[in-house]
Chains A and B, each alone.
Chain A
Amino acid sequence: MKKDIILAGVGGQGILSIATIIGYAAIESGLNLKQAEVHGMSQRGGDVQSHLRISDKEINSDLIPQGGADVILSVEPMEALRYKPYLSSEGWFITNSTPFVNIPDYPDMEVIISEIDKFKNKVLLDGDKIAKELGSARSMNVVILGAASSFLDIPYEKLEEGIKFIFARKGEAVINANLNAMKAGREMAEKSK
């Protein structure tokens, strides 16, 4: 078993939380893991990515080779496209559809959607909308994690344990909001498959 996952987004959108949940679930499932992340200047509203590698064998490189990723999991549509060179030909492209516009030359959404249409295996969902409807707008990242959850080869219960683990200090309400967010994302992805 091997899953190489590129997590993408804009600094502050919560991809490191997703990485921590998946990482916790992978370790609890007895798998090996390497996860490279971005700290420092780029976190100030710039593009950020994390390379998350899970395997039942020894993992060498901390970075995923280009053309080797099994999943791109992105909380922002243009950022998802930035990592196209990493995706393998059979890989899954899973992204939030709501753009994060903090640059003057953000492209037309139509062009972005037409680029996304070119992927063979894809899930496009409005994580911001789903999270808002659930009454927890800040859980958008976990909605997207839910959408990707059936492509990770990790038991769903382990991801739930991951959520309980990382939000433990924030109390029951936050944990439940995130468990619901993950479930809603998963259901939405099942429908659109």
Chain B
Amino acid sequence: MKKLLLLGNEAVGQGVLDAGLSGAYGYPGTPSTEIIEYIQRNPEAEERGVHKTWSTNEKTAMESALGMSYVGKRTIVTMKHVGLNVAADAYMNSALTGANGGLIVAVADDPSMHSSQNEQDSRFYAKFALLPAFEPSNQQEAYDMCFSAYEISEKYKIPAMMRLTTRLSHSRAGVVKKEAIKENEMHLPEKRDQFMLLPAFARKKYQHLLAIQNDLNKESENSQYNVYTDGKDKSLGIIVCGLAYNYLMENIKDAPIKHPILKISQYPLPKKQIEKLVSECDKILVIEEGMPFVEEMLKGFLGKGINIKGRLDGTLPRAGELNPKLVRNALGLQELRSESIPEVVSGRPPALCTGCPHIDTYKMINAVTAKYGKGHVFSDIGCYTLGYMPPYNAINTCVDMGASITMAIGAADAGFFPSIATIGDSTFGHSGMTGLLDAVDCNANVVIVIMDNDTTAMTGMQDSQVNGKIEKICMGLGVEKEHIRIVVPLSRNHEENVKIFQEEIDYKGVSVVIPRRPCIHVYKKSMRK
């Protein structure tokens, strides 16, 4: 059968479509973005009328998916790892309401922080919520697991997590399609109280969730994705999770290694196989992408009993993503001969593009703030975070989506002046609006700069939900009309923009300045049409 050449993320997109998807929800975030993008450009999804527009943030996405599940349809919600923090309230509680139609929560983790603020491991969330998780080791599994995840989700009436990591999300390989399944007919939950978490109901549901943990363990023990391969040399047993399996096989396919290997791609951890491995082997090596999740559980707090090797004892690095070389070292195999990078090679960090509107906005801000000293600009998450770097040196913080506005409020409350926030249009929609309401409510002396480039640029030009609505939103939240100022960030407007910005700094209260000019890539694309 002909193979489709798909990114890991695209394999998930095709997988859910073939497994009867009725709606996909998500907020763009590297490395998760291509799941929804694939569904958006899929002609069959269009024909079937599958919902596939971006949501305002991960929480609204998760809740919308829960609503689709409530009426019995199969759905997926996608996000990057830190997006699950935003959706966590809905995710944790969805463990108690459970699902009706199959619900997959696809989360792409970014170990080594290629495009992220941290490298948290979403498997901890699945365990925290007492929900099952799938961790594909390759693109074919990513595809196949969509079918399995929906089966588990509907069999036990709970959401199932699909945990992806950067190197699988953004790596292409051939995938063989299965026969497609029809979408579910709409049907309400059998019990009217299923999605009702009044305390009296929630307590019962929690007991039920605890009661099915044994069944979920049995599912893992019998899973086709958790594979025990016996070996004669029991001096070491290897537990390897998800994508790390490929790095292991890369190194031992030609090497005379005969240790027992337990590959894990479905959670909760399969107890039976782990017991067998631990009881038969002298030492256990745990190879997992992300944090030492399995390793810590096996080791326990005091680390007494089982002899465990992995990220905690330095056999593998404590932080960062794995690669074939690190796994080779952990196996004690001879290193491949390799030369070092010539000294002449300089670093080439990402930078704002030539012609980027943010450059002119930062020039405006710098021209005004210089006289007040350092540290006056709080910022947020997007391309404009690169404004921290020289030659701009314009911003000072980047914490989480929306934190620019609320941190500016806190600093202003302490008497800091001027207190300025810079936030992109999409980030403002995601988590800035509530902060702006706080600012209006306490009449904080802040200037909020909403850098409107007409798109979600950093993740590759996705639609921004607040497009065309920013002034109305600000007014609706109570910002005074005369203190919502729109400027066009171009060098020929510099003097005028500086004057306007200074006026708003001088105003004692909430000001919003909106530098508005399309991202240079959006502009170029529109010119080509």
A-side residues, CB < 8 A to B, are 10-11, 23-24, 27, 32-47, 51, 59-68, 78-79, 81-82, 84-87, 89, 102-103, 105-107, 111-112, 115
B167 & A63 in contact (Cβ 8 Å cutoff): yes
A85 touches B341 (CB 8 A): yes
Nearest B residue to A45 via CB reads: B351
Q: How far is the CB of A6 from chain B (nearest CB, A)?
A: 12
Inter-chain contact B173/A59, CB cutoff 8 Å: yes
Given contacts A45-B351, A45-B353, A62-B246, whether A85 and B114 have CB atoms under 8 Å apart is: no
- Expressed in whole angstroms, the Cα–Cα distance for A56 and B339 within the complex equals 28
A1 → chain B, closest Cβ, in Å? 16
Given the contacts A39-B33, A45-B353, A65 and B344 also touching, CB distance less than 8 Å: no
Give the docked Cα–Cα distance between A81 and B345 (Å).
7
Contact status B338-A47, CB under 8 Å: no
Contacts of A59 in B (CB 8 A): 173
Q: Contact: B460 with A65, CB < 8 Å?
A: no
Does the CB pair B3–A27 fall under 8 Å?
Answer: yes
Are A35 and B350 interface neighbours, CB within 8 A? Answer: no
Q: Report which of B5, B174, B325, B349 forms a contact with A66, defined as CB distance below 8 A.
A: B325
Q: Determine the chain A residues whose CB is within 8 A of the CB of B347 once the complex forms.
A: 47, 103
B207 at the interface (CB under 8 A from A): no
- On whether the beta carbons of A66 and B336 are closer than 8 Å, the reply is yes
Choose one: B115, B247, B342, B386; the contact of A84 (CB below 8 Å). B342
Give the chain A neighbours of B249 by CB distance below 8 A: 60-61
Q: Bound complex: CA of A94 vs CA of B266, how far in Å?
A: 42
Knowing A59-B173, A68-B336 are in contact, say whether A46-B350 is a contact too (CB < 8 A): yes
Q: Mark B325-365, 1 if CB is under 8 A from A, else 0.
A: 10010000000111111101111111111000000000000
A114 vs B405: C-alpha distance in the bound complex, in angstroms?
51
Cβ of B253 < 8 Å from any Cβ of A?
yes
Is the Cβ of A44 less than 8 Å from the Cβ of B250?
Answer: no
Contact of B351 among A68, A85, A102 (CB under 8 A): A102
Q: How far is the CA of A81 from the CA of B31 in the complex (A)?
A: 27
A158 to chain B, nearest CB (A): 14
Q: Which residues of B contact A61 (CB under 8 A)?
A: 246-247, 249-250, 323-324
**Given A44-B386, A61-B247: 14 more A-B contacts, CB < 8 Å:** A37-B172, A39-B31, A41-B30, A42-B114, A42-B350, A43-B460, A60-B247, A62-B243, A65-B251, A65-B323, A65-B336, A66-B324, A68-B324, A105-B346
B502 at the interface (CB under 8 A from A): no
Q: Are B174 and A65 in contact (CB under 8 A)?
A: no
Interface size on B, residues (CB 8 A): 48
Q: Complex Cα distance A188/B328, Å? A: 39
Q: Which of the residues B247, B250, B344 comes within 8 Å of A107, measured between beta carbons?
A: B344
Output the least CB separation between A41 and chain B (Å): 4
Residues of B within 8 A of A102 (CB): 348, 351
Distance to closest chain A CB from B113 (angstroms): 10
| A11 contacts across to B, CB distance below 8 A | 350
Instruction: Report yes or no: B344 in contact with A44, Cβ–Cβ below 8 A.
Output: no
Asked if B458 is at the interface of the complex by the 8 Å CB criterion, the answer is yes
Asked if B383 is an interface residue, CB under 8 A from chain A, the answer is: yes
Contacts A45-B353, A62-B167, A103-B348; is A40 near B31 (CB within 8 Å)?
Answer: yes
A59 to B139, CA, bound (A): 12
- Tell me whether B85 is interfacial, beta carbon within 8 Å: no
Nearest residue, chain B, Cβ from A111 = B344
Q: Are the C-beta atoms of A63 and B3 separated by less than 8 Å?
A: no
User: Which residues of A sit under 8 angstroms from B172, Cβ to Cβ?
Assistant: 23, 33-37
User: From residue B139, how far is it (CB to closest CB) to chain A in Å?
Assistant: 8
Complex: how many Å from CA A82 to CA B167?
20
Query: Can you list 5 contacts pairing A with B, beta carbon distance less than 8 Å?
Result: A35-B171, A47-B348, A61-B323, A66-B324, A84-B339
A109 to B: closest C-beta gap in Å: 10
Q: In the complex, what residues of B have CB within 8 A of residue A105's CB?
A: 346
B366: Cβ under 8 A from any A Cβ: no
Q: Are A60 and B460 in contact (CB under 8 A)?
A: no
| Interface residue? B168 (CB, 8 A) | yes
Nearest to A19 among chain B residues (CB) is B172
* CB of B52 closer than 8 Å to a CB of A: no
CB of A41 within 8 A of CB of B174, answer: no
Residues of A within 8 A of B346 (CB): 78, 103, 105-107
Q: How far is the CA of A42 from the CA of B251 in the complex (A)?
A: 29
B336 touches A67 (CB 8 A): yes
Q: Which residues of A contact B247 (CB under 8 A)?
A: 60-61, 63
Task: Give chain B nearest CB distance to A181 CB in angstroms.
Answer: 20
The answer to whether A44 touches B167, judged by C-beta atoms less than 8 angstroms apart, is no
Residues of A within 8 A of B170 (CB): 36-39
Tell me, in angstroms, the Cα distance from A36 to B246 when the chains sit together.
13
Nearest CB on A from B138, distance (A): 8
Give CA–CA (A100, B328) in the complex, Å: 35
- Does B462 touch A at the CB level, under 8 Å? no
